[in-house]
Amino acid sequence: MLTRLNILYITSLVCAGVLAYFYPPLSAPPPFAESEYSPAPFTQTQTPVFEQYFLNPIDDPPSVHAGSLTMLPDGEIIAAWFGGSREGAADVAIYTARYDAEQQEWSTPVVITDRLRTSRELGRYIRKLGNPVIYADRQGRVWLYYVTVSVGGWAGSSITVKVSDNGGRRWSEAERLITSPFLNVSTLVKGSPIALQDDQLLLPVYHEMINKFGEVLQLDSKNRLIAKYRMTHQPQAIQPWIVPQSPTRASAFYRRAGDAPPRVLVNQSNLSSKYWNELSPSDAPNPGAAVSVIRDHSGRYLMAYNPQESNRTQLALARSLDGLHWEKLKDLELGEDGDEFSYPYLIRGQGGRYHLIYTWQRKRMRHLIFNQAWLEAAS
């Protein structure tokens, strides 16, 4: 007998079947975009270049942290970081500023979003904001991924995203990425996204609740999360930083967590980040602090890190051929007890220059520009 329930059931079953038939199939991550593993060669100059800047005035806001950088297709550099009265405070906002290479100065920082604006745009209560990662894709769209928390501490984080179609000057409304079935909590972002072919993106993230491990999100060209892959099977490594070496091969570098040895941890993937092997400790010390790694013009790894087993009072650059054995090239900061220089974020800019941003004493974001000649002179 065709009751109302039978009609509802048959209708839903038929509609679901038809729509499921047209649903896009799950596909493995495509190879990395060529720009990721084979950066365009740049003109090397023999003249060392080293410049340094502060992005924000001291104490405005009182506390800043977690800077990131990206380069637009025209070579302009944009930075994003969070700042407020203290980390985790309700007044923390996401700031951005632009670097004018001709004038050699940073623009006045502006607030992209804050807790109240994000709450309104997401239509849900947001208690605090955290780590932002800014990224310009090959079409010139600028993506801002940042951490939001509704309930609890950082382990209750989820990732929110905004996009700008005009070089980071005007931003879309915020949207959430749903990355976990458990109330969508405990996914944080820190590392740089990686472009894939077909305009897809890999976003390295990490999980902090109960167990700590790295994951990578596969996002399509419309920023829909279409798959994710676990990067570590031991609960001791967070804040992955992925460095592609070929169309399908990549290494990842991690901040140690839990009982892991006080070393930068490393593992590799041979299938565009779908499967990752076991973690190995490198010989580079790590106090439980973020690292940032890129490849230099000759394919060697260049890492910005805290070269200590505890504390974040020093910041340095190191170089490696295999990612496991590191040679320290240059001390960037040599502080004393109580100082903090942390959360480096390293990118390649135009003209053979490297750009590094990091947290300086939790009070300012510091930006360094240097080139290969300066690195070689330093070593």
Partner 1 sequence: MSTTFWVWAHLSFILVVGRLLFSLAQNWVLPTKGYAAALLLIGALGMMPYQDVDLAGWLLGITNMLSVGSLLVLVLGILPRLGVNPDIDQDQQQGSWPLWFILGLILYPSALGWVSLDTYVWGYDPLMSWICLGLSPLFWLLRQRLIGLWLSLSVLAWTLELGESNNLWDYLIDPWLVIAALIWLLRQLLPKRPQQVGQEGP
124 binds partner 1 (CB under 8 A): yes
Which residues are CB-neighbours of 314 under 8 A, at least 6 positions away? 306, 307, 308, 331, 333, 334, 335, 341
Q: Which of 52, 211, 221, 277 is the binder for partner 1 (CB under 8 A)?
A: 211
Give phi and psi for 140, each to the nearest 5: 90, 0
Is residue 138 near partner 1 by the rule CB under 8 A?
A: no
What minimum distance in Å lies between the beta carbon of 137 and partner 1?
A: 20
Q: Is 16 in the site for partner 1 (CB under 8 A)?
A: yes
In the complex, minimum distance from the CB of residue 238 to partner 1, in angstroms, rounded to a whole number: 11
- Minimum Å gap between C-beta 207 and partner 1 is 6
Among 58, 110, 111, 183, binds partner 1 (CB under 8 A): 183
Can residue 213 be called a binding residue for partner 1 (CB under 8 A)? Answer: yes
Q: If binding is defined by CB under 8 A, does position 4 make contact with partner 1?
A: yes
Q: Which is nearer to partner 1, 76 or 91 (CB)?
A: 91
Among 230, 275, 325, 351, which residue interacts with partner 1 (rule: CB under 8 A)?
230
Q: Considering only CA atoms, which of 165, 184, 275, 269 is closest in space to residue 225? A: 184
Count interface residues toward partner 1 (CB under 8 A): 51
* Chain residues 80-119 in contact with partner 1, contact rule CB under 8 A: 116, 119
Q: Give me the least distance between CB of 86 and partner 1, in Å please.
A: 20
List 51, 104, 120, 277, residue binding partner 1 (CB under 8 A): 120
Q: Which of residues 46, 170, 181, 259 is near partner 1 by CB under 8 A?
A: 181
Nearest to 203 by CA among 224, 186, 185, 184: 224
Name the residue nearer to partner 1 (CB basis): 225 or 324. Answer: 225
Using CB under 8 A, list all residues that contact partner 1.
3-5, 8-9, 12-13, 15-17, 19-20, 23-26, 116, 119-126, 150-151, 176, 178, 180-186, 207, 209-213, 224-230, 233, 235
